[in-house]
Amino acid sequence: MTIDFHAEKNQLSYTGRTADDSWSQTILSLVNPVGKNVVDIGCGGGIYSKAWSRLGAASVTGIDFSRVMVEAASEQCADDPKLSFAQGDARSTGLPSQCADIVFARALIHHFPEQDLQKFFKEVIRLLAPGGICLIQDRTMDDVKMPASPTHFRGFFFTRYPRLLTIEQTRRPDDTMVQNTMKLAGLEQVNKTTLWETRREYNSWSELEADLLSRKGRSILHELTDEELKDLVHTIHDHVAGQEKWNEQDCWSIWIGSAACGTIKGK
């Protein structure tokens, strides 16, 4: 069953984790967030909104289409006055034009058909101040198909249940299509980089097992029955047992583009 982002039971599915230094260092190699106004579209429970604040952003506005996600983010980030959250549509956020120096969207665009992706990037252009930068983090099929390993647990999802790969093929964005859509919307200096992001470190198998069985932060696992999920976790255990710690990594693409007069670091 596909995850329902509006269900109260899933309110904390995208909370309770801190963005890793592997993510932060990659972001800092692409953009300087210090003193910048950031809009985080599809913010979920605010994990990456918090991360932008820690990197020195002056303000971070999180937008999500799910009321329960916005409520979770507001609760999780209540101690940081630089963060604010609102319910809104990624294609029409309702935020003021040119309000953002940086627009960020993580694990969002794979939910969009191509026509909605065009609307989304037009909204990104509207939000960006002159010289602003957008960073879009998501997975292509090349990322999805990275082999399973003792650090890349996600690969086992697809070797054990190939039908999950079929689901991914229907929704994962194509690199060329994304870059062309960004350029058509008016973004410049468009390019892509790859990130192996440490999702989380686990100190015991029971900790990792509980996280997998909760499906937390892994929407694809909602496509499995409870029995199938238990079987998958058993399969992963057979391949990764015997370690003292488990370092889970995921492969991502990050697309970067700038509004007129912007300069991407390293360019």
**Residue 258 confidence (pLDDT):** 95
Residue 210 maps to a domain: no
Determine, yes or no, domain membership for 58. yes
* Residue 51 belongs to some domain of the structure: yes
CB atoms within 10 A of CB 6: 12
Burial class (CB in 10 A: 0-12, 13-18, 19+), 184: exposed
Structural domain count of the chain:
1
> Has residue 235 been placed in a domain?
no
pLDDT the model gives residue 7 = 41
pLDDT at 263: 52
Q: Is residue 267 part of a domain?
A: no
Contacts of residue 101, Cβ cutoff 8 Å, sequence gap at least 6: 36, 37, 38, 128, 129, 131, 132, 133
Asked whether the beta carbons of 121 and 187 are under 8 A apart, the reply is yes
* CATH number (domain holding residue 108): 3.40.50.150
Domain around 193? 8-145+173-199+251-258
Residue 123 lies in a domain: yes
State the pLDDT at residue 244: 85
Nearest to 97 by CA among 127, 123, 120, 125: 127
10-residue mean pLDDT profile of the chain (267 residues): values are 43 62 96 98 95 98 93 92 96 97 97 92 96 97 97 96 95 95 96 96 94 90 96 96 90 95 55
Cα radius of gyration rounded to whole Å, the chain: 18
- d(CA 172, CA 21) in angstroms, rounded, equals 26
Q: Give me the phi and psi of 252, to 5 degrees please.
A: -130, 155
